[in-house]
Amino acid sequence: AEEQPEAIEVPPVETVVTGFVTVREEISSLTIYAEPDTGAVVLKNLSNPGPFDGPRILEATGQTDGDFFEVIIPVLPNKTTGWVFADDVAILSSGQRIVVDLSDREASLYVDDIFVMKAPVAIGTDETPTPVLEAIIDVIWDRTTSQTSFGTAYGDTLFGLNQHSEVLESFGGKRPAIAIHGTPEPELIGLQVSNGCIRMRNDDIERFAEYVRLGA
pLDDT at 14 over 90: no
What's the CA gap between 154 and 16, in Å, rounded? 37
When pLDDT is cut at 50, 70 and 90, the band that residue 3 belongs to is low
> Residue 93: CB partners within 8 Å, gap ≥ 6?
18, 19, 20, 215
Please choose, from the candidates 186, 180, 183, 191, the residue with its C-alpha nearest in 3D space to the C-alpha of residue 216.
180
Task: Please write the tens of the pLDDT for every residue from 178-216.
Answer: 999 999 999 999 999 999 999 999 999 999 999 999 999
Task: Please write the tens of the pLDDT for every residue from 90-125.
Answer: 999 999 999 999 999 999 999 999 999 999 999 999
Please choose, from the candidates 54, 88, 23, 31, the residue with its C-alpha nearest in 3D space to the C-alpha of residue 213.
54
What's the CA gap between 158 and 160, in Å, rounded? 6
Please choose, from the candidates 200, 140, 198, 138, the residue with its C-alpha nearest in 3D space to the C-alpha of residue 163.
138
What's the chain's average pLDDT? 90
pLDDT at residue number 32:
98
When pLDDT is cut at 50, 70 and 90, the band that residue 8 belongs to is very low
Residue type, 88: D
Task: Please write the tens of the pLDDT for every residue from 57-81.
Answer: 999 999 999 999 999 999 999 999 9
Query: Phi and psi at residue 188, in whole multiples of 5°?
Result: -95, -5
Pairing of strands 19-23, 57-65: antiparallel
Q: Three-class SS of residue 174?
A: strand
pLDDT at residue number 150:
81
What's the CA gap between 87 and 115, in Å, rounded? 35
